[in-house]
A and B are shown apart, each in its own frame.
Chain A
Amino acid sequence: MLQIDSRYIEKALSANALEELYPLVQNAVELEHSTIPPYLTAMFSLNPGANPVQRQVIHSIVIEEMLHMTIAANILNALGGHPVINHADFVPEYPGPLPMGIGNGLIVGLEKYSTDVVKNVFMEIEEPENPLVFKSVSLAALPTYSTIGQFYQAIQQKIDELAPDELPGEKSKQVTSSFFPADELFPIYTKQNAIDAINIIIEQGEGTSTSPLDQEDELAHYYRFEELYKGKRLVKDDTAPNGYSFSGPAIPFSAEGVFPLFPNTKISMLPVGSEEWNRMNEFNTSYYSLLSGLHTTFNGQPGMLDNTVGVMYDLKLTAQKLCATPFPGKPGYTIGPSFEFIVPAGS
């Protein structure tokens, strides 16, 4: 089961002032971001037109990770902190551990879509505190571990304890967007706003402790990935122990409909000055531009968010072209997007 380094939870629980929560909430912003490159790489590896359900499921989860990242940044601003996004430390090294020792050594890389990656990486990342087990294993007594959800709960508890009802951050820094429902992304002005917002992150990721659904009646990330892994939809089933079973329609998967990305492609693996190298440079330039735009957005210019949406499309189109491009010198492979933090420079 996925663990978080318990030091982070202890740090949260031992905080005596809101300022002591800033680095932890910054960590949360980093954590939410850190899952997006692996998910997107898997999604971009799906051939255009092939494996539409896999694409749709990952896309829906990525969108929610973006929402969570936005919520975490809003909370940090609301508490009076300053999100830092345009910095090399913000971007994890792939393959490598996620921030805060998530997963007790779980190594996350940038790889093509496969059911193995879904099971061994994505479901691990999203694993709830007590995963509901549907019609396969009996609910044995599960040991309790510290999870991402528990980390958020610790922060939530401390905000409740330490913060005034009206949070101290500048209201004008709160980011909202027409791309998210107002009951999921809302400005965080009060302590209650912050508590509600954290609940959204926890439930969308993990579901509730009694249901795989979140408050919006959508399957939590873990169970959406589990559907892809099992190749079956999770549906209501009164005969099943938890009221759900993987007895829904089959989710077809075609391994041929996946580009054979070379795992964890780096720009340094490509011949300097080659067309492929240039395209990877273009990709990383977009990635830098995106992080930089988000930094501006979350540091007092919330209106910039719309522009970053456009950059996301630039990034996506370049990535998809890379995924279809044969890897020079590595027969049988194509190029994965590297998501490296590189400041564009002159020559």
Chain B
Amino acid sequence: MSYLHAPRLVFTGDFLSDVSTVNNDTAHYNNATFQPNFQDPGKGATNGWWNPEGGAVFDFQNCAVRQIFLPDGTTQTSQSDDIIIGQAVVGAEGRPTGKMVDLDPDAQMFSALWCVQLRICTANGDLLFKGDITTTSFRDLQMRQLDGGKSNGQPLGASWTSVITNIEWGVLAEQSAFLKTLRATTQNNTLAINMNPFGYYYNHNDGRFSLGRIIGSIGPYFEGEPLTFAPARRLYGINYTPSARSTFFSTSNFLVEPDSKRVSIDFGASFPVADSVGTVTYKQDLRLAVSKVPQTGVASRQTPTFYINPNDFIEIGTLDYQSDPNWLNQTGGIASFSNLPDATMAALSNSQLLLITPSTSQPGQFAIIAREAIDGLVARADNFIQRLDDGQSVNIDFYAYQWGNLLPNTSISITLDPATPDTPVGPQNPISELYGNNFPAEGLTFDGQISTNQQGKAQMLLTGNAIYSPRVYIDGQIYFITYQTATVDQAFGTEQVVVHLRDYFQEIANPVWSDISEMMIQYSNLYPIMSKYVVNLADPAALAEKKKILIFAFSRDINDTMHMPVTRDLSSTKRNTILNWLNNPQIAPKTVVRSEAREARTANPVAPGTALTDKQTRYREAVKAKNGSFPGFSATNDLFENL
């Protein structure tokens, strides 16, 4: 079961993400070279990017339930059909909003939602249901906007998949047949949710600064299934658009249900849009089909398009989206084809799904826009983003599927990526030396070879070991751990488990200001909203004056929205040391020299200038694209050119 199963609802609206951006630049973490203008808005490493005063707030705005899909295959769009349709989807009430934060400046591709509550209410505020969205990070970043994001500045979109727990049903829930069915279907009073954010505004245009569009769907959850991705089949884009220098329809989930002879495909995260609010203006003839022959094409500039002969596929149906430019916002981009012929269902059980369109350059042929993963294989890690202190261990859960079914006895090899080199100060890196990632290798212990069990699931025990400031002025290290099955589908590539391992630090029971000043000054530099409006984190007297509220915040659980630091990047020993100081603020320096011997910093094993792997290079480019420092995206007038 997943957000794609029936019954499911679709909601659409905006999200507010007031992320802070001084911390988008790794060099800004160096207190020694920090300058006040790094807190000013403006592009370039010597400024604070587009939202230096961000406070990490995440919230739903203008979101409402657009339609529901029922087990019998019908879609309802009117409140007269079910009370839930048209109701508001809003965030927390009576507690602070959720938060959106990156893992680390060296790992900005996994922006996570923390402590987000979702409520569905009537216009009077009467509750249908509410619950808490379990922390989840971006997956499947992909190109969305054909206009290159010219107004908003960010043409990419992504997905957050998660579960909703602590569900409380309102009195009004009884009046919704949909909710009654959903409650009866789902397990453990948990729901599956997927949200596709895109159209985010870096720019002060259209009244939408720091807003984006969000498309969500909520469906039943079944115990034992992954929490951060749908146990679904996957379609990968293999058509390269030269004018946009990009591939659209990069990743889409779909579900095949033999009992109802149904295919449900979700283009909510992938359907290309004309603008930042999800308008679809092209009218291309797009069809779903099952391929009779294996498809292995991979998009590239050299081979932008792959074709298929009509004899080689079974057509499922045509996507009906052209009549309404608001189709994506209304439907969430999910299309279901029910009561399919037995032959189609039989083919789908062991053949690839395709998204195709009639070719203009090769009449009679069809161009393949996207194809299912080779052999229908999908293997993904669930809890793939980790924050670890030394001595902590965590089991990373892996799931393997073929044609949508869990796949036993699949071996997964797991490798730490090579260390990346340090970058000395120079014309391209004007502020501070940057330190590499993925070292020391002994910082993490894990089993490099695992295999799925009879249930198609595997676990990898990951342990963090003591490391000693490999990045000097930023706590801990970022490790990218790539995992893959025996064959890698290059249309999607590999995925990674990404770990922020915090530095070894021994808690100081009776600290003085100089024991915590570097940490506090760094937070003060990176998050000016705090020092400007709440308390000057760099001023011990000011901290002492506000110690009550600071103790309150620094002692909250990491899953409490009020937890400090909001970035959730401090080890417990450092956080406890700050708490110890706040409980007894000693401003004067210690009279005796501290006896704790500092461990020598771990040196980078690779020399500056060492070439990055292709994947690491692509990752750096992708980070720039995501965090607003990419020089410019290309727009395209014709997504389906030369097909």
Q: Report which A residues bind B (CB closer than 8 A).
A: 48-49, 86, 178-179, 271, 273-275, 277-278, 281-282, 285-286, 288-290, 292-297, 304, 306-311, 313-314, 316-317, 320-321, 343-347
Contact = CB atoms under 8 A, between A and B. Distances in A.
Contacts of B301: none
B62 A293 contact: no
Given A275-B204, A293-B95, A307-B95, A346 B532 contact: no
Contacts of A292: 93-94, 125
Contact of A307 (B90, B96, B123): B96
17 contacts: A48-B533, A178-B548, A278-B16, A289-B95, A292-B93, A307-B562, A310-B561, A311-B94, A314-B97, A321-B53, A344-B90, A345-B90, A346-B63, A346-B86, A346-B87, A346-B90, A346-B123
Given A179-B548, A343-B123, A345-B88, A311 B95 contact: yes
B131 interface: no
Nearest to A272: B207
Given A310-B96, A343-B123, A346-B62, 5 more contacts: A278-B211, A293-B93, A309-B552, A310-B561, A344-B90
A293 B562 CA distance: 15
A308 B562 CA distance: 10
A181 to B, nearest CB: 11
A292 B117 CA distance: 15
A293 B209 CA distance: 28
A311 B98 CA distance: 11
Interface of B: 13, 16, 53, 55, 57, 59, 61-65, 86-90, 92-97, 121, 123-125, 204, 207-209, 211, 529, 532-534, 548-549, 552, 561-562
Contacts of A275: 204, 207-209
A179 B552 CA distance: 9
Contacts of A281: 61
A346 B552 CA distance: 33
Contacts of B561: 310
Contact of B13 (A48, A285, A347): A347
A320 B534 CA distance: 10
Contacts of A343: 123-125
A313 B533 CA distance: 10
Contact of A317 (B87, B94, B533): B533
- When A and B form their complex, which 6 residue pairs have the shortest distance between CB atoms, in order from nearest? A293-B94, A346-B64, A346-B88, A307-B95, A310-B96, A347-B62
A289 B16 CA distance: 16
B61 A278 contact: yes
A282 to B, nearest CB: 7
Contact of A278 (B64, B65, B207, B532): B207
A309 B87 CA distance: 28
Nearest to A289: B93
Nearest to B534: A313
A317 B55 contact: yes
A290 B13 CA distance: 23
B151 to A, nearest CB: 13
B166 to A, nearest CB: 14
Contacts of B208: 275, 278
Contacts of B90: 344-346
A307 B532 CA distance: 23
